[in-house]
Amino acid sequence: MIQVNDQPVEWKPGMTVADVLKQMPDVRLCSVVRLNGKLISSPRFDDTRIPDNAVIHLLPLVAGG
């Protein structure tokens, strides 16, 4: 099981960030997540595998400096 925005989500072996986001409603403005505290940006969503028991937070729209 993993936590996504404080909600439990079933974990599957090989699961990527992109796989998780496909399960979430309305993520059109999500370009960055924190995976166990580390920043993962959209170009790496497909390649980044999620370990079991991970904690993920979807970051808000990047707003610049």
Q: For binding to another protein (CB under 8 A), which residues are involved?
A: 5, 26-32, 34, 38-39, 41-44, 57, 59-65
**Minimum distance between the CB of residue 13 and another protein, rounded to whole angstroms?**
25
Closer to another protein at the Cβ: 13 or 64?
64
Closer to another protein at the Cβ: 18 or 62?
62
Closest to 46 in 3D by CA, of 14, 27, 19, 23: 19
Closer to another protein at the Cβ: 14 or 28?
28
